[in-house]
Amino acid sequence: MVRVSGTEGYGKTADALVEQYEGLTFEHVHRSTLSLLPTPTARALDIGAGTGRDAAALAARGYTVVASEPTAEMRANGQRLHATAAIEWNDDGLPDLAMVRARHAPFDLVMMTAVWMHLDAEQRMRAMPVVASLLRTDGVMTMSLRHGPVPEGRRMFDVSADETSALALGYGLTTLHRSQRTSVTLAVGVTWDILAFRKV
Ligand SMILES: C[S@@+](CC[C@H](N)C(=O)[O-])C[C@H]1O[C@@H](n2cnc3c(N)ncnc32)[C@H](O)[C@@H]1O
């Protein structure tokens, strides 16, 4: 199986990650940016949706939700765990998101939670105009960037909030929110940048 770049390590550990990812709540993970989200029934895209925790929470809040997850094992878990949630799942990934662009855009909300740092510099340059083009004017994009030790088998880069904000601005995405926090799972040495952008 050809793996989408950035997904390394997730297939083998997908079952073990269910407890960790589903043990967090949408409200807690996104507490810094909740007030910035558009109102339901806005159209939302969760890129790198993992086990579907956030996609399911968005669907329960009344959003129309598309979830994009290129790791088959993660996607299968998400579809099983949230079988009753109104989520349209796609086997699609960054930097191109060709299927999502062709079938589902535009969106009022794009979420990339713990995903962007899986892309290398060249892929980030390619992906930013793509995600910006998926958003409607006034649409919001949220993102988190992980810093710290890289889990075994994963492909991850230390991507700064400064770089990300500057890159986003070049495609009409202004920074609405920026903060830092320690790991909610208390992983040693792990910190996060939390970012939100609006398309102008
Ligand atoms: C740390 S997990 C986060 C999952 C979910 N967003 C959450 O917050 O629980 C990162 C996810 O990004 C996905 N991923 C990795 N590379 C990707 C890429 N190039 N495009 C889209 N998703 C990717 C992985 O398969 C994995 O499910």
Ligand 1 centroid to 77 CA: how many Å?
13
Q: What pTM was estimated for this model as a whole?
A: 0.97
Helices within the chain (DSSP H only): 10-22, 26-29, 53-60, 72-81, 98-103, 121-134, 161-169
Q: What is the distance in A from the centroid of ligand 1 to the CA of 117?
A: 10
DSSP one-letter code for 36: G
Q: Which domain holds residue 96?
A: 37-199
Enumerate residues 6+ apart whose C-beta is below 8 A from 3: 11, 70, 71
Quick check: helix, strand or coil at residue 35? helix
**What distance, in Å, lies between the first and last C-alpha atoms of the chain?**
40
Q: Name 187's Cβ contacts closer than 8 Å, sequence gap at least 6.
A: 148, 149
17 in a domain, yes or no?
no
* Closest protein CA for atom 22 of ligand 1: 48
What pLDDT is recorded for position 183?
82
How far is the centre of ligand 1, averaged over its atoms, from the C-alpha of 176 (Å)?
23
Residue 184, domain CATH? 3.40.50.150
Query: What is residue 3's predicted lDDT score, i.e. its pLDDT?
Result: 85
Residue 134 lies in a domain: yes
- The count of domains in the chain is 1
- Ligand 1 site-directed mutation target among 58, 94, 115, 125, most atoms within 8 Å of CB: 115
Tokens of 192: 């996060």
In a domain, 16, yes or no: no
The helix/strand/coil state of 198 is: strand
Residue 119 CB neighbour total at 10 angstroms: 23
Q: Could you tell me if residue 9 is inside a domain?
A: no
The residue whose CA is least distant from atom 27 of ligand 1 is: 50
> Is 20 among the domain residues?
no
Within-domain flag for 21: no
pLDDT in tens for each of the 200 residues of the chain? 778 999 999 999 999 999 999 999 999 999 999 999 999 999 999 999 999 999 999 999 999 999 999 999 999 999 999 999 999 999 999 999 999 999 988 999 999 999 999 999 999 999 999 999 999 999 999 999 999 999 999 999 999 999 999 999 999 999 999 999 998 666 789 999 999 999 99
Are 192 and 186 in contact by the 8 Å Cβ rule? The answer is no
Q: Is residue 153, in this structure, part of any structural domain at all? A: yes
For 96, the token pair is 């191109």
DSSP count for the chain of H helices, then E strands: 7, 7
3-state secondary structure of 140: strand
> Is 11 contained in some domain?
no
CA 94 vs. chain centroid, Å, equals 10
